[in-house]
Structure formats: structure tokens, C-alpha cells
Amino acid sequence: MNIKKHIPNFITLLNVFCGCLAVIFAVKNQLEIAAFFVFLGIFFDFFDGLAARLLNVQSELGLQLDSLADMITSGVVPGIVMYQLFNRALNIHEKVNDGHSWSDTWHWFQNEVHILPLLGLLITLASAYRLAKFNIDENQTSSFIGLPTPANTLLIVSFPLILAYQDITVIDVHAIILNKWFLIAMTLLSSYLLNAKIPLFALKFKDWSFKNNMMKYIFIIVSALLLVFLQFVAIPIIIILYVLISLIKK
């Protein structure tokens, strides 16, 4: 039995496990813990491909397994997180009224379901479509067309972390993030970027030379500095920077 060829798949399954735990905590509205398991899952997602290349054991099975893992960690989870953020926003800002609005509820199997938060699941649908396209697209081996699902997920899960751990005196982050119009805009933008025909560079290294990977190294260094100084607020900035650098490079 060739154990070496199973190592990348085992790492991918660790991503699946972290994604399942993230789903559990996101459903419980413990979004900070869910974000932790998302970070861990994306860590495994990066290293399974790296391990496959280093060990020279790439396979079709590994490709499909990686995509299924991404669907959980970077597809289902961000949709649920956005759903919960919408619920938090409605609990703060919406008042019950007799007129019809997106904040009205359905009575479904003896449960009240708000209409507006369901919009957050559009991210999950867009992620599924993006991953399906990626699997059959032979032009995304060394770069991406549209925002990768892990990057999009980091953007979404950064919002509850900013709410929980960062107190910015110059702006009221709670008023911004827990505003239903902001969440609507982010949901639509996120879903669009996932499937937009925008070429974005991939953090895949064929070799470790600075000359051949200058842009990637600069991006990693700048991202690390932003995280040190801005903490979780840096994550949306890094995603924006990632898109802008890719457009400039094009």
C-alpha cells in the first residue's frame, strides 16, 4: 500500500472535519468559534495541494475531494455566517410592523423564519456554482477566474471577528456591519466576485525564487504587516488588495 499518495487526501479530510465543526458553531450563532475552524480548514486546504505537488501524487480523486471540502468550509459556512449576521442586524434595527417587508417572518413547521436573512445563503449558492465551474475549467491551473471561495470566506468571517474583538474609536463598526443594507451589498458583491470573469493570481509556487514569485512574496509580506497592525480589519483590506493587484497585473 502506497501511504504517500493518501497524505494529501488525509489533509483534505481534515479540512472537511474543520468545515463540519464550523457549520455546527455557525448554526449555534457562535461565529467567532466558527471562524477559528474556518481558518484552520483553509490552512489544511492550502497544504493539501502543496503536499500533493511536493510528493508528486496529484490525482483526480484529490481534486474532487478538495472541491467537496471547499463546498463545506468555504461554501456552506459563509452562507450561514451571513444568515446569522442578518439576524443580528434585524434584532437590533428592525421593529415589528403591520406592513410587508423583508424582515417579516414565515411560519414554517411551527418555526418563525425571517425572510431577509435567507438572502445570505446566496453566497452558498454562488460558491457551489463557482466550484462546479472551476472543476471543469482547464484554464485555472495556475490562476483563478473570479474570487476563490476560501478568500471570499475569509472576507465574510472577518465581520463577526471585527465585531467581537476590535473597538475602533473613529468609526462605529457595529453600526456599519450590522446594517442590513451593508449586509445586502456585501452578499451581492461576494456572490458576484465569486463568478466574475476577473483573472486573479494564485498563491501557488512552482519554485521558491523571489524573481519568479516577486508579486506573491510582496503580497504575502504586505498582508502580514496589515494583519499585525490592523488585526481582523486587515482581512477585508487584504481581499480588496488581492483583487486590485490582480487587475493591475493584468
> Does residue 9 belong to any structural domain of this protein?
yes
- Quick check: pTM over 0.85? yes
> Does residue 107 belong to any structural domain of this protein?
yes
- On average, the pLDDT of the chain sits at 88
> Does residue 215 belong to any structural domain of this protein?
no
What are the tens digits of pLDDT across the range 116-150? 999 999 999 999 999 999 888 877 766 889 999 99
> Does residue 194 belong to any structural domain of this protein?
yes
Whether the CB-CB separation of 198 and 246 falls below 8 Å is answered with yes
95: domain CATH number is: 1.20.120.1760
Question: Strand ranges (DSSP E) for 168-229?
Answer: 199-201
What are the tens digits of pLDDT across the range 195-209? 999 999 888 776 677
| DSSP of 11-28 | HHHHHHHHHHHHHHHHHT
What pLDDT sits at residue 97? Answer: 47
- The pLDDT-based confidence of 101 (bands split at 50, 70, 90) is low
> Does residue 10 belong to any structural domain of this protein?
yes
> Does residue 206 belong to any structural domain of this protein?
no
Domain with 110 in it: 3-138+149-198
> Does residue 249 belong to any structural domain of this protein?
no
What pLDDT sits at residue 41? Answer: 97
Domain tally for the chain?
1
> Does residue 42 belong to any structural domain of this protein?
yes
